[in-house]
Amino acid sequence: MKIEKILVPVDFSENSHQIIQYGAYVARQFGAEMEAIFVAQTFQDYSEFFEPHMPVIQFKEDLIACAKDKMKSFLSESLEPDIACQGLVMAGDIAETILEHAKEKKIDLIVMGTHGYKGLEKVLFGSIAEKIVKRSPCPVLTVNPYR
């Protein structure tokens, strides 16, 4: 078994800084490429009963542009300069988008946190980590950032 491509989902929460460092450690041990992914939740989940107006569409575009800027600063703040990591920002259902990307890019390992943002987001969308662990096309290393 070779681990050549590692995917690290991040949500820019405080925990993400620790998770990306775990990913970097594993990538360094295996000499693997690492990619960080942030997925902006879209309103597609509500399309059956909610039709967004133009300002919402503009909001999505603005959100993605801001997330790309945040990804650049997040990676430079969280990783040593010698660690190579490509940042990717996508939009859609978070778990589905991560799973599709992992399958398309033939990712060998996903490194992700067990805890990200909580509260209303978790009630509405469930546990992203749980969905990914159950359906991932590759092994998933989950990290509890509170330990």
pLDDT digits (tens, 9 = 90+) for 11-34: 998 889 999 999 999 999 999 999
Architecture of domain 5-37+73-87+94-143: 3-Layer(aba) Sandwich (3.40)
Burial grade of 37 (CB within 10 A; 0-12, 13-18, 19 or more): buried
* pLDDT reading at 89 higher than 80: yes
Instruction: Give the least confident one: 43-57, 69-83, 95-109.
Output: 43-57
How far, in Å, are 27, 54, 88, 123, 125 from residue 8 at the CA level?
10, 32, 10, 23, 19
CB contact set of 131 (below 8 Å; sequence gap of 6+): 95, 99
Model pLDDT, residue 121:
47
pTM: 0.85
DSSP letter for 92, please.
Answer: S
DSSP letter for 43, please.
Answer: G
Residue 7 binned pLDDT confidence (cut-offs 50, 70, 90): very high
The structure tokens listed for 90 are 């996508």
Model pLDDT, residue 139:
97
Model pLDDT, residue 1:
78
So where are the chain's domains? 5-37+73-87+94-143
Angle at 132 between CA 130 and CA 137, to 5 degrees: 140
- Per the model's pLDDT, the better-predicted residue between 54 and 65 turns out to be 65
N residues, the chain: 147
